Structure formats: C-alpha cells, structure tokens
A and B are shown apart, each in its own frame.
Chain A
Amino acid sequence: DTAVSQTPKYLVTQMGNDKSIKCEQNLGHDTMYWYKQDSKKFLKIMFSYNNKELIINETVPNRFSPKSPDKAHLNLHINSLELGDSAVYFCASSPGLSGGTDTQYFGPGTRLTVL
C-alpha cells in the first residue's frame, strides 16, 4: 500500500500547455511538500502545506500553483509550461509542522518533459 503516491509518473507535453501533477498520502501526515530535481540533480523545495495552509513558497514562478483540497492531497498545477520546467517533481509528506527535522516521506517522482 503506497504511502505517498504521485500521478502521472511521466508527463511529456508541449511548451505553453497547462498541466497538473497529483499527490496523495495515506500516512495521516499534516504537512506536504513539493520538490523539484533539475538536470543538475539539485533537489529543491518549492512549496509546503500544513493542513491545507501554505507554509513555504520558495520564490517559485507564479505559473506554479499548488492546491490542497484536504490534508491528504497536494496537487501541483503548472501554467504556460516552459522548457526549463523539465525536471523530476517529488511530492513528500511529514507528520508534524517542522519540515526541518521531521522525517519526510517521498513519492516516486513525476518526470516532466517539456518539448
């Protein structure tokens, strides 16, 4: 039974399109995150939500809009996709509010390719 799941696993799309990536966790955690791993392999936090409330927004372009309908879901919508958005996007969750020390549980990642 997958703890943190993401769909789709792969996403290939054209520049300018709008796409969404979904994330669900069944761990009962309060905090969820989105990370981006770019071609240089850096894994960087984009957003975190605690119980549907935005906690961290790391100067991500406003083309990226996270949406948390409930604390078990954190979806990522990306408007007007650009070539530089190509990356692997990881969703994660943690039990408490302290993302700095809580163990984070990651999903398998979504590889986004923008053509």
Chain B
Amino acid sequence: DQQVKQNSPSLSVQEGRISILNCDYTNSMFDYFLWYKKYPAEGPTFLISISSIKDKNEDGRFTVFLNKSAKHLSLHIVPSQPGDSAVYFCAASAGDDKIIFGKGTRLHILP
C-alpha cells in the first residue's frame, strides 16, 4: 500500500535548466511533507519541507509546491547543477512519530 508515490524512477535534466520532481500521496491525513536527497553509499539527507498550511516553501535553488486538493507535491531545482545528481525521496507524515517515504526518483544532471 503505497501512500507516497514517486512514479518517475529517473529523470535527466540539462545542467542549468529546471528539474521538477513529482510526488503524489493518498493519505489525506498527511500534514507535513519532506524531501530527502541521497548520494550513493550515503544515507539520505534532509533537503526541504512544507507544512500543509502552506502551498510553497523556498530555500535557495529549491522550492517545494504543495497542491492539497490534488494530493500532489513537487520539488523544483533551478538552476540544476551537477552536484544535484542524486536520488530524491519524497516523504510525508500525519502529525505522528513517523515518516512515510516514497521509492525515490534518480535525478541525472547532464553536462
């Protein structure tokens, strides 16, 4: 039962362009959403989050958009840089003690 879905296993984007990673969720009780980034042979690292009371949160090159009616969020990275090549996990929580992760999307930034 996938409550957090990342339907694109991979994405390739030209350096300097915008990367858009998408995430859908099914549990309407989710009220907090996070993005984690993971390099090979390392653990995930926190990137950015958004509360359900907002529809946008921005941190430097990273912006997360939340569309509650569509149960959809997206991570925008602009401009994309080579160091952004990684696996990006979308995650959500329902105000309790745990985070539910998606399967991840592998982002390749092309030179």
A41-B104 contact given A4-B43, A90-B43, A101-B32, CB 8 Å threshold: yes
Docked-complex contact A43 and B32, CB < 8 angstroms: no
Those of A52-95 within 8 Å (CB) of chain B: 55-56, 58, 90, 92
Docked Cα-Cα span, A12 to B47, in Å, equals 32
Q: Which of B93, B96, B97 is most buried by chain A, counting CB atoms within 10 A of its CB?
A: B97
Q: Is A97 an interface residue (CB 8 A)?
A: yes
Docked Cα-Cα span, A97 to B44, in Å, equals 20
Docked Cα-Cα span, A11 to B96, in Å, equals 32
Q: Hey, which chain A residues are within 8 Å of B96, CB to CB?
A: 99-100
Docked-complex contact B99 and A99, CB < 8 angstroms: yes
Docked Cα-Cα span, A39 to B43, in Å, equals 16
Those of B57-94 within 8 Å (CB) of chain A: 89, 93-94
A109-B98 contact given A40-B103, A43-B89, CB 8 Å threshold: no
Q: Hey, which chain B residues are within 8 Å of A58, CB to CB?
A: 98
Docked-complex contact A55 and B97, CB < 8 angstroms: yes
Shortest C-beta distance, A82 to chain B (Å), equals 23
Docked Cα-Cα span, A58 to B103, in Å, equals 18
Docked-complex contact A106 and B43, CB < 8 angstroms: yes
Shortest C-beta distance, A113 to chain B (Å), equals 15
Which B residues form the contact surface with A (CB < 8 A)?
32, 36, 41-46, 49, 89, 93-99, 101, 103-104
Add 8 more A-B contacts to A101-B49, A103-B46 (CB < 8 A).
A41-B103, A45-B99, A56-B97, A90-B44, A99-B96, A99-B97, A99-B99, A100-B99
What are 27 inter-chain pairs, A to B, with CB distance below 8 A? A40-B103, A41-B103, A42-B101, A43-B89, A44-B101, A45-B99, A48-B98, A56-B97, A56-B98, A90-B43, A98-B97, A99-B99, A100-B93, A100-B95, A100-B97, A100-B98, A101-B93, A101-B95, A103-B46, A104-B99, A105-B43, A105-B45, A105-B46, A107-B43, A108-B42, A109-B41, A109-B42
